Amino acid sequence: MSALGHLSTPATVEPAPPPEGSERRRTAYLLLLPGGLWLILFFVVPLVSLIAASLYDPNGSIESGFSMTWSFHNYVDALADYARPFGRSLWYSLLTTAFCLLLGFPLAYAIAFKAGRWKNLMLALVIAPFFTSFLIRTLSWKLLLSDNGFVVDALKAVHILGSDGRLLATTAAVVTGLTYNFLPFMVLPLYASLEKIDHRLIEAGGDLYASAFTTFRTVTFPLAMPGVVAGTLLTFIPAAGDYINAQLLGTPKQRMIGNDIQRLFAAGAYPTAAALSVTLMAAITVLVLFYVRRAGTEDLV
Amino acid sequence: MTNIGRWIGRHLILFIGLLVLLYLFAPIFVVILMSFNAPKSKLSYQFDGFTLHNWTHPCQPFGLCDAVSTSLRIGLVATVIATALGTLMAFAMVRHRFRGRAATNLFIFLPMASPEIVLGSSLLALFVSGGLGGQLGFWTILIAHVMFCLSFVVVTVKARLSGMDTRLEQAAMDLYATEWQTFWRITFPLVFPGILAAALLSFSLSFDDFIITNLNAGRTVTFPMFVWGSAQRDIPPQINVVGTAMFLLALVLVLGGELARRRRASRAH
């Protein structure tokens, strides 16, 4: 499923545009129509109704219905009550993104430049774990990180973890799980970017007496930047909304905003939940726009 | 030992890469191991003993096989719809220039860039405000799955299409093939691997989705929802049987594809 690798890599070389003509243009709109309608009906309209729901009177219920108030009180109340899980979500996703980059870069680099004829196999191995349900894999981490498990014992043996230390039900466990779940989303775009680099540029760095590190810093990394941007976005965004890892590997102390949104929706508290959901989307959009502008890659899609 | 040390020193990045792969596979080993577990108690999280019982009685936990079959049905229908609609869109995006093309591109990308909890909750808000709150189930799950698979299909097929040499089609036209013949004899066979990849991706996304499904499922239970439910109570080892089977199936597909690719490549030379 190397297809995922193309998420981030827009087709830079596109065939020459076919001749313009009103008939061809009409064909294009006809081809877009069914899928476009589906996205409008079930992606755009829902977002609008989510925003509408965030302005409902919180005293309503599913049975008696909600009334529209047009007041922004839900936002004020929700932010007052849920500022901490909000901040925690953004912090955990930031950590997750950093760890994914730290782990994903060497792996993507190894596949692109060092794997030789094992390249395709290694790429397949990155995606293969994906097919076992991610809930089952996350549950497996519970066993891997358990108090008397192999990992904890090993970390205790080398004194990274104190004798009464534990991993399960800690921040470390939640971030480990998040990093694990979103790592392929970092590796694939990074690989796609690295693979396109002309190897002669890296050799030229060496020929000009740059150290391996300088070559990496001034040649390889900047050229891999589109992959870095796409990869960090593809890990940060889903991580910020995730609540599975916090639920299965953490305690209520590691609660993320997704846990609260899910819980409130399940309890039928739609207005508050909707307000939190809209705030999450807005916060992510602002952060992403800021980041993409700073990183200087507009051609993301 | 020094030999291994020297190999690691010389191939440091490859070594780190392999360690990261090991991290990706660690839970898979656990899933496979636990599929042969004979747990002593219902809430056991450790390996208590070896048995083949789970593999010979996969449907024993109440509701497990129903959930798997629900997921399979939703996955298949969602895949067919999303792949068909997405492929049409990909053709429009790559082969046609029209007003609003860049905006359309961004619009198609947006669902992929939204957190699942937002996608799921906004659909729920729509269904509830549309008075469908009581009718959540198979159809609402299906609608949601087609929605989030669509973008992935478009991106996947687009990648295949834009990498294609259009001269082959021009040649066919030069040889007096009609547009229809050109499409079915040249274009479609060349894009087909991309469409197949998109369909596989859709199916696995649909089969595995929990966050969006859980919000829009009502009383319907899909496989991930079954796993989630049992994680709160007891985890039947048969869940790991399903996980292992899925992994093996994917491995066969991936390795099969790779073999086919190598055969084609060697034939071409």
Q: What is the pLDDT of residues A198-239, one digit of tens each?
A: 888 888 888 888 888 888 888 888 889 989 999 999 999 999
Distance between CA atoms of residues B174 and B166, nearest Å:
12
Task: Identify the CATH number of the domain defined by range A85-295.
Answer: 1.10.3720.10
Q: What is the mean pLDDT of residues B75-99?
A: 94
Residue A188, pLDDT > 80, answer: yes
Contacts of B35 in chain A (CB under 8 A): none
Residue A281, pLDDT > 90, answer: yes
| Banded pLDDT at B49 (limits 50, 70, 90) | confident
Least confident of B19-28, B66-75, B100-109: B100-109
B30:A243 CB<8 A:
no
Q: What is the mean pLDDT of residues B72-78?
A: 97
pLDDT recorded at residue B27: 93
SS3 B236: coil
A49:B126 CB<8 A:
yes
What radius of gyration, in Å, describes the C-alpha atoms of chain B? 23
- Are A191 and A110 in contact, with CB atoms under 8 Å apart? no
Q: Considering only CA atoms, which of B58, B219, B209 is closest in space to residue B133?
A: B219
pLDDT recorded at residue A11: 45
CA distance A128 to chain B (A): 7
CA distance B115 to chain A (A): 5
pLDDT recorded at residue A198: 85
Place domain B63-235 in its CATH homologous superfamily.
MetI-like (1.10.3720.10)
Residue A5, pLDDT > 50, answer: no
Q: What is the mean pLDDT of residues A193-199?
A: 88
A49:B112 CB<8 A:
no
pLDDT recorded at residue A289: 87
pLDDT digits (tens, 9 = 90+) for B158-170: 988 888 888 888 8
Beta pairing partners, A61? A65
Contacts of B164 in chain A (CB under 8 A): 15
3-state helix, strand, coil in chain A (%, to 5): 75, 0, 25
Residue A286, pLDDT > 50, answer: yes
Smallest Cβ distance to B30: which of A11, A49, A143?
A143
Q: Considering only CA atoms, which of B167, B156, B144 is closest in space to residue B218?
A: B144
Distances (CA, A) of B40 to A149, B57, B205, B237: 18, 17, 34, 11
Distance between CA atoms of residues B213 and A126, nearest Å:
25
Q: Does B247 touch chain A (CB under 8 A)?
A: yes
| Banded pLDDT at A187 (limits 50, 70, 90) | very high
CA closest to B217 among chain A residues? A266
Residue A9, pLDDT > 50, answer: no
CA closest to B196 among chain A residues? A1
| Banded pLDDT at A1 (limits 50, 70, 90) | very low
A114:B14 CB<8 A:
yes
Cβ-Cβ contacts under 8 Å for B125 (sequence gap 6 or more): A46, A49, A50, A52, A53, A270, A274
Smallest Cβ distance to A110: which of B14, B86, B224?
B14
CA distance A159 to chain B (A): 21
Distances (CA, A) of B112 to A4, A104, A145, A198, A233: 12, 21, 31, 30, 11
Q: Does pTM top 0.90 for this prediction? A: no
- Are B109 and B189 in contact, with CB atoms under 8 Å apart? no
Q: Does A180 touch chain B (CB under 8 A)?
A: yes
Distance between CA atoms of residues A202 and A212, nearest Å:
9
pLDDT recorded at residue A296: 65
3-state helix, strand, coil in chain B (%, to 5): 75, 0, 20
Distances (CA, A) of A257 to A93, A174, B60: 11, 14, 36
Q: Does B136 touch chain A (CB under 8 A)?
A: no
| Banded pLDDT at B232 (limits 50, 70, 90) | confident
Contacts of B151 in chain A (CB under 8 A): 39
Identify each DSSP E strand in B218-268 by its residue range.
none
Contacts of B91 in chain A (CB under 8 A): 31
Contacts of B32 in chain A (CB under 8 A): none
pLDDT digits (tens, 9 = 90+) for B181-211: 888 888 899 899 899 989 999 999 999 999 9
| Banded pLDDT at B269 (limits 50, 70, 90) | low
pLDDT digits (tens, 9 = 90+) for A136-174: 999 999 889 988 777 888 888 887 787 777 888 899 999
B118:A277 CB<8 A:
yes
Q: What are the extents of the domains in chain B?
A: 3-39, 63-235
Distance between CA atoms of residues A29 and B95, nearest Å:
12
A 188-217: CB under 8 A from B: none
Residue A20, pLDDT > 70, answer: no
Highest mean pLDDT among A117-131, A286-300, B104-118: B104-118
B158:A11 CB<8 A:
yes
For A131, which DSSP code?
G
Q: Does A98 touch chain B (CB under 8 A)?
A: no
pLDDT recorded at residue A297: 56
Q: Which residue has the higher pLDDT, A218 or B75?
A: B75
Q: Where are the alpha helices (DSSP H) in B35-63?
A: 53-56
Q: List, as one string, the DSSP characters of A7-39.
A: SS---SS-PPPPPP-HHHHHHHHHHHHHHHHHH
For A113, which DSSP code?
I
Distance between CA atoms of residues A272 and B235, nearest Å:
33
Smallest Cβ distance to A301: which of B105, B198, B200?
B105
CA closest to B96 among chain A residues? A28
Q: Does A185 touch chain B (CB under 8 A)?
A: no
Q: What is the mean pLDDT of residues A173-199?
A: 93
Q: What is the mean pLDDT of chain A?
A: 85
